[in-house]
Amino acid sequence: MTDAPGARDSVDMRLRRVARPTTTHPHPATSGTPTVLTGATVVLPTGTVENGQLTVDGTRITGLAPENAQVIDVTDHYVLPGFVDIHNHGGGGASFTSGSVEDILKGIHTHRLHGTTTLVASTVTGDMDFLCQRAGLLSELAEQGEIAGIHFEGPFISPCRKGAHSEDLLRDPDPAEVRKLIDAARGRAKMVTLATELPGGTDSVRLLAEQGVIAAIGHTDATYEQTVEAIDAGATVATHLFNAMPPLGHRSPGPIAALLEDDRITVELINDGTHLHPAALQLAFHRAGADRVAFITDAMDAAGFGDGRYWLGPLEVEVADGVARLLGDGTIAGSTLTLDRAFKRAVTVDGLSVEDAVTALSATPARLLGMDDRIGSLEPGKDADLVLLDADYELKGVMRRGEWVVGPQLG
């Protein structure tokens, strides 16, 4: 890899000299002058307000509009809280697992252009020493506020349900090795995906829970009973429910039934039309409800970039018509999804209400990350992270911490 992390000081120097990508739709920043968005359909935690208004002062949402505020009329548009993605491997041609600092920033910015104002960077299975190095680099970006933390997807997963992970690099979830990985993240590890039925799995779940790191059940061949045991030990997330796990059976219900029925579990769903049939998504929403569903992208490099050949860790991927598959066996390899597309599909294809889609894209993942005091909903005092959509649910603006990433496109 061309930019393997070295000492902490050298990473800090790289971060200081990297030029941040510039917005593709310039608009005056709001940090100097308070801004009021008026005439919008505003989606609040208490419900949707027609012909509402939202005031931004500096980096925060405020309750009252000062006299000197800049007024922007956004009639016939929706104002939503910024999207929160807890499972994302890259975008814009860049990988969070293997890219340079510049690459990672490019990938983050690509997703911001599509409404994701908070993002957890996910890695894929690799050599332990390499993953520890990546954890050090990504933790620096978390300290800089570019990402919300790190999600380790692998190497502690089942070879029976490996998906787009290299089988040669898989290993059992030995608690000592799990601890080594989260220690390398210097307090910035947010989630670890485990096949909890493997030797050491349950003990690793307990370790993660004690350390305040989310234990996610995924890429698993567990039985129903083994899954219940892992939940009782402290697991709280289902990594991309339905995918990379045994199907639901009437005599052998497997992990899906256990994960859906337990109110302690938040289920990830990839709503791209490829990973899930609409009926499966409806089943998850009917059983779990929006408060227990987190829409994710599971995006890889091609998200927001285009078809072609890419690498996902050590494995080569071909993207055709927006679908990523491993060369050779055709296994689906992440997605090219962005969360603005996931939102539009949820409302226009899956028939979800705008309010439920917002909950699954913003409020639920924010609460899961323990960040709902700052993000995930439009309330005074919270970060001014918001998405502007037109009446057809097409993205027309993105604000992050009071700055327009995509300036309002209103005419």
- Give the active site residues: 298
Cis amide prior to 155 (ω within 30 degrees): yes
| Edge-first strand listing for the sheet containing 315-320 | 308-312, 315-320, 323-326
Q: What is the chain's percent helix, strand, coil content, to nearest 5?
A: 30, 25, 45
The alpha carbon dihedral of 239, 389, 319, 102 has a sign of: negative
Q: Contact, 370 vs 188, CB < 8 A?
A: no
Q: Contact, 385 vs 118, CB < 8 A?
A: yes
What value, to the nearest 5°, has the Cα angle with vertex 221 and ends 215 and 223? 90
Is residue 39 packed enough to be buried (19+ CB in 10 Å), middle (13-18) or exposed (0-12)? middle
- Taking the C-alpha atoms of residue 114 and residue 24, their distance in angstroms, rounded to an integer, is 12
What value, to the nearest 5°, has the Cα angle with vertex 227 and ends 224 and 232? 125
Nearest C-alpha neighbor of 344 from the set 280, 279, 396, 301: 396
- Taking the C-alpha atoms of residue 213 and residue 179, their distance in angstroms, rounded to an integer, is 11
- Which phi and psi (to 5°) does residue 359 adopt? -60, -45
Q: Which amino acid is at 132?
A: C
Tokens standing for residue 262: 């337990």
| Edge-first strand listing for the sheet containing 83-88 | 83-88, 116-123, 149-153, 189-194, 214-217, 237-238, 266-270, 293-296
- Helices 128-143 & 101-112, crossing angle to 10 degrees? 60
Q: Which residue(s) pair with 317 in the sheet?
A: 310, 326
Nearest C-alpha neighbor of 154 from the set 76, 239, 41: 239
Residues 6+ apart with CB under 8 A from 266: 236, 237, 238, 292, 293, 294, 364, 368
